[in-house]
Structure 1
Amino acid sequence: MPDTKEAAALDAHGIELIKALTVEAAEPSILLVATDGLSQGLPVNVPVAFDRKSQAFKSVKALIDEFRQAPDRRKGTATVETLASFIALIERHKDENSAIFGKTSYPDPKLTAVIDYDKEGVAARNRSHRIVYAFPLTEEFKSWVAGNAKPMEQEVFAAFLEEHAAELAAPTDGEVSEYERLFKEKMATPSEVVALSRHLEVFVAARAKQGIRLQTGERVVEFAEEHQNAKGESIVVPGVFMVSVPAFVDGDAVRLPARLRYRVTGSKVVWFYQLYRWEFFLREQVGHDLRHASNETGLPAFEGSPEA
């Protein structure tokens, strides 16, 4: 039989051995799982932790990412304010599989470049690095749209035309031919529209008698003189005029035909204008910008939105 000292040594060794086994059983083990044949886009081996206590496998990615000194991939969405910046930023980041998408309809037209986009025959990518140009509208364009078909008193309408005189455009021969035939109205030059606004200011205090249409396609409003400043009793009202205004910040001007209308109610005249198919012309401009971005960057362009 072992003596007392030997027995004590054996007991101590046994306790240490049991302790070591207990600690080993409680500690997780890092295992490398081979991914060959499981799926595309995976590394050769995936590290996982096996928790002996719970008998469960756990990912170690979150723990490893705590010590990451650089992102694992590019992701996020950059927002630009002009088409030129949209093109320049694409040029900075694009690769051979990048693509551009365009939502061309109002009220929220938008161009989206997906830098890490997919392509047939190439492993799927994350589609999470994007550049967006949301076509910020100019204040001038928003003002014309806000006043569209909105009745205005004579003084207010005259002031509106004066304020936006710089956005009136001389019609081309083609526009005169097309819109005079379409509307059966005479098209006005910018100077004629400005002259109309000034005549309206003179007749603010006058009493309207009637509105008549001439064979030339012009309309005439007759006024009864009630003050010294009026130099005549009628003014000629053109039926159509052209507006040329940049719809988007730092963008090209969009040409919009506008029909000029009035109503004689009692002794007052209410004025308003109607922008003809302005949403169509806006969509046309967005489509043009989509094609321009595609040509400048050499990337394919699609009308629509990319996958979420």
Structure 2
Amino acid sequence: MAEQQKLDSHAIELVTALATEGTAPSILHITTSGLGAGLPSSLPVAFDRKSQAFKSVKGLVEEFRDAPARRKGTASTNTLASFIDLVNRHKDADSVLFGKTSWPEPKLTAVLDYDREGVAARNRGHRVVYTFPLTDEFKAWVNGSAKPMDQESFAAFIEEHAAELAAPFDGERSTYEPLFKETMATPSDVLSLSRHLEVMVSAKAKQGIRLQTGERTVEFTEEHQNAKGEKVVIPGIFMVSVPAFVDGDPVRIPARLRYRIAGGDIKWFYQLYRWEFFLREQVGFDLKQAADGTGLPSFEGAPES
């Protein structure tokens, strides 16, 4: 009797083990030969005997991974120098640079894990970008362009941004003076004008004349002086030299000086000439500097998304 009970117990254990084994999932390895590039030689999958279905084990494996399987993500830099240094830290033989040089969103992008012809495609997911953050000084000049200002505001603006006025080069004189038929001013000319306007802020203005030298004049008259007034020479063009991007090189932009007189009141404004062109030119220079500084090929445009 005892022997029979022992056999029955063993049979139950055996049946239970076989039932458990018949429903337990197992790991199978599927070869990937002929399925294309970018795959390992075999793929581990779990086979669920109960549902007769294959399931990926990738999620379970990733849950226990101590370090990333590959580099990915996008780093953002605030200066061109930092962009070059970070790219040099992570680049390899196939890394490339892309430059979007048009306004309003210029950007340099380094794709560190880029692919090339003749080899298997890479992930293209590890990147460094530089979005050319604008300086406050450049934004002030752009935002104020072509906007009329009263005499006091205009004089204050010129005084505040005096450090960004530049003497014209000979080549700039020969280019812009014939183009605009105006005389180019030096920084001292523009500052003298602004300081004179501060004194004459309460005076009435009368339309001036154009001198034989090509300069214009405006006549200011104090009310208590009757017709007696003082003529002020108005320069037609001046040069602005201001870093457009944080820690970047100065961009030189010609500005035309204008005024409008109505009922003795005068409004002043300046117009930056083709400033988007000069900005795009500077971005192109910076793209070349980044290519030279990293030794990587560069392309105008944007990488694959």
TM-score, structure 1 as length reference: 0.95
- Is the Cα–Cα contact under 8 Å of residues 110 and 129 in structure 2 kept in the other structure? yes
- Is the Cα–Cα contact under 8 Å of residues 206 and 218 in structure 2 kept in the other structure? yes
> Which letter does structure 2 place at the counterpart of 1:70?
A
Q: Separation in 1 of the partners of 2:19 and 2:208?
A: 102
CA RMSD of aligned residues (A): 1.5
The Cα of 1:18 is off from its aligned counterpart by: 2.4
Secondary structure at the counterpart of residue 234 of structure 1: strand
Secondary structure at the counterpart of residue 131 of structure 1: strand
- Is the Cα–Cα contact under 8 Å of residues 225 and 233 in structure 1 kept in the other structure? no
2:134 is aligned to 137
Of 138, 152, 157 in structure 1, the residue corresponding to residue 154 of structure 2 is 157
Whether 1:202 and 2:199 are equivalent positions in the alignment is yes
1:182 is aligned to 179
2:69 is aligned to 72
Of 245, 262, 266 in structure 1, the residue corresponding to residue 263 of structure 2 is 266
* Cα displacement string for residues 167-190 of structure 1 (whole angstroms, at most 9, x for unaligned residues): 000001110111001001111010
- Is the Cα–Cα contact under 8 Å of residues 210 and 223 in structure 1 kept in the other structure? no
> Which letter does structure 2 place at the counterpart of 1:95?
D
The Cα of 1:221 is off from its aligned counterpart by: 1.0
Whether 1:31 and 2:28 are equivalent positions in the alignment is yes
User: Which consecutive residues of structure 1, in runs of 5 or more, have no partner in the other structure?
Assistant: none
Q: Separation in 1 of the partners of 2:258 and 2:207?
A: 14
> Which letter does structure 2 place at the counterpart of 1:28?
P
1:306 is aligned to 303
| Identical amino acids, percent of aligned pairs | 72
Of 41, 44, 47 in structure 2, the residue corresponding to residue 47 of structure 1 is 44
- Is the Cα–Cα contact under 8 Å of residues 241 and 258 in structure 1 kept in the other structure? yes
1:223 is aligned to 220
1:284 is aligned to 281
Secondary structure at the counterpart of residue 118 of structure 2: coil
2:59 is aligned to 62
Moved over 3 A (4+): 4-11
Q: Separation in 2 of the partners of 1:30 and 1:303?
A: 49
Whether 1:97 and 2:100 are equivalent positions in the alignment is no
The Cα of 1:16 is off from its aligned counterpart by: 1.9
Of 122, 125, 147 in structure 1, the residue corresponding to residue 122 of structure 2 is 125
The Cα of 1:55 is off from its aligned counterpart by: 1.2
1:169 is aligned to 166
Q: Separation in 2 of the partners of 1:49 and 1:86?
A: 44
- Is the Cα–Cα contact under 8 Å of residues 27 and 46 in structure 2 kept in the other structure? yes
> Which letter does structure 2 place at the counterpart of 1:236?
V
Of 234, 237, 242 in structure 2, the residue corresponding to residue 245 of structure 1 is 242
Secondary structure at the counterpart of residue 235 of structure 1: strand
Alignment length (residue pairs): 303
TM-score, structure 2 as length reference: 0.95
Of 111, 115, 128 in structure 2, the residue corresponding to residue 114 of structure 1 is 111
